[in-house]
Amino acid sequence: MVTYRTAGESHGKALIALVEGIPAGVRVSTEFLRGELAKRRGGVGRGERQKFEQDDVTILSGVIHGKTIASPIAIEILNSEWAKWESIMSPDELDFKGGSLPLAAASNKSESSATPSPGEDPKPPFAAPNVPKGEEYDRLMRPRPGHADLEGIRKYGFENARPVLERASARETAARVAAGAIAKLYIAQAAGVEVEAKVVQFGEVVRENGEGDEVFDQRAQDFADVAVREGETVGGIVEVVAKNVPAGLGSYISASSRLDAALTGALMSIQAVKGVEIGHGFGFASLRGSQAHDAILSENGKFRRRSNNAGGVEGGISNGEDVIARIVVKPIPSVPGGLETVDLSTGAPARGHSQRSDCSAVYPARIVAEAEVALVIADFLTRVRGVDSI
């Protein structure tokens, strides 16, 4: 089996990706990983922060002289802004000698603050009394609707949102993209599988049949420009296609062995994704049975389908057609001006903090979606083939 895990926080020293189960002999280069990470930082709707939020990536283990050696592959992505966050994000307890604690480090420092038990609603006053008002206070004591801020505080009993937003941040997807890059190389070299994603809807802009990226991206950019002027953010739909997927990946035997279940679960795990469909997906609701299913044909002794409404998966098993999935990406909830919320220190109505310069996460989501699909296919490929090397 191919598995991956990530570690690290948004403003921590580094993100880590650990990929296990990749056979020996897969050709890997750091340059390919850099290219994948660069694609994640680009696209319509991205802001100025992507120019300084660089990805300094290093393969720490599992690859020697450009080839995998079957051992776990560890990848490090350094935070280029770490110097600004070293004290706030220090893993060691710091002595501030009576001065004001950064709010990030204020958790559990004040006996007078009413730290809630996990699962309980915080009751004001909730802020440590030595935390000054200001931007950092707004960010961490005024939970943003649509983020994990409040629910993370309630679940884990934190005094502020710093521990929540650091791990819940979509910055974590950089590590997923790095892991997915390894999986892309493996499935391409072992089975010729290629995974590509494109944005098919950006806000109200819908890609027309046959419309190329250049034309669509410009229409999307024009829409994004209007949204920025209006102080809004934008959602959309991404389509992921895996080509040359061999028939026979997955099974109907159990829920955990179904390829489509694994794909939808992986895609749904991406931050900001609120819906997933395979093939024609929710469109099946308006079709009759005679229209919905893909006729089976035989050509030169091989089976194929007349259409691909199933999205390349039937009964939880790949059928040899392209595997197609779509995800719905919600608008970024860090809306300029902030959304209605509550100040946790007073219980009074407030506006959530907004710091992002991006107006949309749709374009970077397509790269993350490619990574997730590649990782799932890599896993199911090893289940079927069970090879030690390629």
| Domain chopping of the chain, boundaries | 3-82+170-335+356-385
Confidence of residue 256 (pLDDT cuts 50, 70, 90): very high
Spatial contact of 16 and 8, defined as CB atoms under 8 Å apart: yes
Does 247 have pLDDT greater than 60?
yes
**Alpha-carbon distance values, 207 to 197, 212, 238, 312, 387 (Å):** 13, 9, 11, 22, 40
Confidence of residue 389 (pLDDT cuts 50, 70, 90): very high
Residue 296 β-bridge partners: 305
Spatial contact of 17 and 4, defined as CB atoms under 8 Å apart: yes
Rounded to an integer, what distance in angstroms lies between the CA atom of residue 101 and that of residue 109?
A: 9
CA-based torsion, 38, 43, 49, 51: positive or negative = positive
Task: Please tell me the predicted confidence (pLDDT) of residue 355.
Answer: 65
Pick the CATH number of 3-82+170-335+356-385 from 3.30.70.580, 3.60.150.10, 2.30.40.10, 3.40.50.2300: 3.60.150.10
Task: Please tell me the predicted confidence (pLDDT) of residue 51.
Answer: 58
Nearest to 232 by CA among 263, 204, 213: 204
Does 166 have pLDDT greater than 50?
yes
Does 379 have pLDDT greater than 50?
yes
Rounded to an integer, what distance in angstroms lies between the CA atom of residue 207 and that of residue 198?
A: 10
Task: Please tell me the predicted confidence (pLDDT) of residue 159.
Answer: 86
Burial tier of 379 (Cβ tally within 10 Å: 0-12, 13-18, 19+): buried
Mean pLDDT of the chain: 90
pLDDT in tens, 272-309: 999 999 999 999 999 999 999 999 999 999 999 999 99
Secondary structure (3-state) at 236: strand
Whole-angstrom distance between the N-terminal and C-terminal Cα of the chain?
A: 15
pLDDT in tens, 133-159: 566 776 788 999 999 999 999 999 998
